[in-house]
Amino acid sequence: MSSPRLSNRVALITGASRGIGAAVAERFAEEGAHVILVARTVGGLEEVDDRVKAKGGTATLVPLDLTDFDKIDQLGQSIFDRFGRLDIVVGNAATLGDLSPVSHFVPKTWDRVFALNVTANYRLIRSMDRLLRGSDAGRAVFVTSGVARHAVAYFGAYAASKAALETMVKMYALEIATSPAKVNLLDPGVVRTKLRAQGFPGEDPMVHPAPEEITERFVELAEPACRYHGEILSA
């Protein structure tokens, strides 16, 4: 059996109570990482924690609404106090919002989409940057979507927020280019998730891969051997 690829790494994963976030958390734990699981749903976090423990892994649960931005700063301080560093950040949490023509979009919903999909990730970068730089091989992976680059009608808020995320993360990558840290964007493609079902309710979800089937690319981008930086990659 091969050695764990994330042995003794500390990994923060947002949106970790279900879907891609939960699958990545379980895979990272299998690969030897201690996973810090962030999501709003306590019950979902506990279920993921049970699966992590069943596989011999360890986790720290953080019930948190990422749009409560000051709590992200508090989380950064708590991680520093406990671990002194952070090796991996996976910015996965996102919301689709409504499917609507841009001209009809409800402002409150538009603002919520950008708050979670863009601003929360900015606050995550702001709070976790020094922790990633404190690692010998800090790695950050932000989950994007093809609609950021290929327009799909009625996905205005989600698509625009992912385009903003991509630009922000590429800027951050340029700014830390001289450090040992690596930051990338990952487009997982079409995956069997609740968000996909919300956007395409008429589809048969079973024709798409399960989240567990696309975790390998996350491991590649999180391990110390990763040499990608500032790129948009596909799972």
Amino acid at 1: M
Other C-beta atoms closer than 10 Å to the C-beta of 34 total 18
Contact 38, 12 (CB under 8 A): yes
Paired sense of beta strands 139-143 and 88-91, if any: parallel
Other C-beta atoms closer than 10 Å to the C-beta of 210 total 15
Start-to-end CA distance of the chain, whole Å, equals 24
Distance of alpha carbon 11 from alpha carbon 141, whole angstroms: 11
Is 43 buried (19+), middle (13-18) or exposed (0-12) by CB count in 10 A?
exposed
Token digits of residue 59: 């986790």
Bridge partners of 143, per DSSP, are 186
Q: Does 228 qualify as catalytic in the annotation?
A: no
From 122, 158, 172, 228, active-site residue: 158
**DSSP 8-state class, residue 44:** H
Distance of alpha carbon 96 from alpha carbon 2, whole angstroms: 38
Gyration radius of the chain over CA positions: 17
80 CA to centre of own chain: 20
Phi, psi of 217, deg, nearest 5: -65, -35
Amino acid at 226: C
Which active-site residues does the annotation give?
158
